[in-house]
Structures are given as C-alpha cells and as structure tokens.
Amino acid sequence: MTDTTAPTAEGQLAGTVLFYNRPEPLSADTHGSLGANPVEKPYAFVAQTHVVPLTVTEFAPAALSFPVVFLGDNKQPVAVMGLRQSENLYVDAAGDFKSDAYIPAYARRYPFVFANDEQQGRMILCIDRDAKFIVEGGQVPLFENGQPSAYVNQAMEFCNNFEQERQRTESFVKLLTDLDLFHTREAVFTPRDEQGNPGTPQKLADYFAVSEEKLKELPAEKLAELRDNGALGQIYAHLVSLLGWDRLIALAFARAAAMPTAANA
C-alpha cells in the first residue's frame, strides 16, 4: 500500500463499485426466480482488497481492529486490512474472516447496493448478479408472488441506513477539510537484525490523517462544536486506530512465517 488512491465507494451500473462485478437493478421480471443460498464463508470476497470503505459511525469499532485512514482526493475513510494490494490479512486462504475483527458495513451489505438514477432523481436497489450464492431457485427467494421478499426488504432497509451514513460521512470529511485538519502521513516499518539493531526504514503507505497539532490549534469554540456534534469522538477514534499499523505488520510476519509450513503440509 504505497499511494493515496481511494477505492470507489459508489458508482454507476458498470461494475465500478468495489466487490460488485455485475450490478443489475433488482426487478421481479429479471430476478423473480432467483434466491440466496446459505454461505459458509460469506465474506471470503473481502480477501481481494487491502482497504475497505468505512462510514464515520464505524470508526470506533473499526479502530479496535484496523488503522482507519483517509485516501484519495475526496479523503475516503477506509479500514486498512493489508500492506499490499489484493492481500487482506484478516481473511485467510480458506476464506475465513478473523473472528475477532470488525466487518465493515460496506461488506455486510453485499450483494446489494444502491445506484443513482439521475434521470428519475432516485436511488435504485441493485444486486450483483455475479454473486455466487444468488442462484436460480435459491433457498431464500428474492421475490414472493411478484413482491420483494423479507430478505430483500431487510436488504433495502440496510442499504437505506448505509446511504444515510455515507452522506453523514461526506459531511464529516467536508467539515474536517473546511477546518484544514488533514495532513499527509507515512506508515513506516523499521526492520531489525537478530541482534536488535535497526535497519533501513521501509515506507508502507502514504495516507491522509487528522493532524493533532492542527486540532490543538483550533479555537475553543470550534473544539466545543466538534465535541457537541460528535465529530471529536470520531476524530479520536481515528487517531487511536493509527496504532494498528504495528498489528498489521505483526499479521504480515505471521502469515509469511506460516507459508512454508503450509507448503510443506
């Protein structure tokens, strides 16, 4: 992870949204015979990326598991789950998500997602038709008697809540940007030899973070405003999460150490 490029959080119906290969507007005519089958490892697909978008209300629970940083020109908040692209240290080779790690809502809503219908000025519920557990005659139907099933209605409610949180996150990022609180940071790892002597530092990532110095320099009334609207707590959760880079490094070493064992098994 060596740049500040953000994953696309939302997009048009062209497979541009992270995890979604073939999103289609959900309809009884097209998908009336489809259903969802139970999945033993429902979040195995997260293994394909090292960062997953977060909403601001997820900062605190996510901070217990990952660094929470901001990427790209739009300062998209993400959970950092790996040190290299396409390698997720929280999903093992068998597709199991670490049992004690937080699962972002962005992943939990899959295979459903909202897309903008600009002509109608509304949001359309879509489904990834390439989701392996969405099949003809699946155990949990998407439609019953031509109407959305309870499964789809629950998904609609979840996506509605997610959309509200996404908009709240955009407002949060705009607030921090307007207050000029962001600065660029580097995640650096210093290897040590067998005697404990430090080697050449290695840069792991560039990212945006809230500057503690800039935060301290804010007028008292601005700090009080951030406290009262809940933003200050989310900022501190983000800052505390940055201690998680050491956890990622430890996980990377553990995975590397286990690979020869797995190969010889």
Question: What are 17-62's pLDDT values in tens digits?
Answer: 899 999 999 999 999 999 999 999 999 999 999 999 999 999 999 9
Is the model more confident about 203 or about 162? 162
Per-residue confidence (pLDDT) for residue 215, from 0 to 100: 97
Residue 14 lies in a domain: no
DSSP conformational letter for 72: T
List, in sequence order, the alpha helices (H) in 116-211. Answer: 150-178
Per-residue confidence (pLDDT) for residue 263, from 0 to 100: 45
Residue 10 lies in a domain: no
d(C-alpha 161, C-alpha 171), whole Å: 16
Per-residue confidence (pLDDT) for residue 11, from 0 to 100: 39
What is the mean predicted confidence (pLDDT) over 246-261? 84
The pLDDT-based confidence of 191 (bands split at 50, 70, 90) is: low
Asked whether the predicted pLDDT for residue 250 surpasses 70, the reply is: yes
Residue 6 lies in a domain: no
Three-state secondary structure readout of 225-236: HHHHCCHHHHHH
What is the mean predicted confidence (pLDDT) over 187-198? 70
Residue 252 lies in a domain: yes
Residue 211 lies in a domain: yes
Respond yes or no on whether the N-terminal peptide bond of residue 111 is cis (omega within 30° of 0): yes
The pLDDT-based confidence of 14 (bands split at 50, 70, 90) is: very low
Q: Which residues pair with 141 in a beta bridge?
A: 35
Q: Give which of 182, 259, 253 is closest to 214, Cα–Cα.
A: 182
What is the mean predicted confidence (pLDDT) over 75-89? 93
Tell me how far CA of residue 227 lies from CA of 95, 157, 177, 212, in angstroms: 40, 29, 17, 15
CB-CB contact of 133 with 41 (8 Å)? no
CB-CB contact of 16 with 30 (8 Å)? no
Residue 230 lies in a domain: yes
Q: Count up the domains in the chain and report the number.
A: 1
Per-residue confidence (pLDDT) for residue 4, from 0 to 100: 41
Question: Which domain does 31 fall in, by range?
Answer: 23-264
Residue 9 lies in a domain: no
d(C-alpha 201, C-alpha 49), whole Å: 25
pTM (two decimals): 0.86
Residue 199 lies in a domain: yes
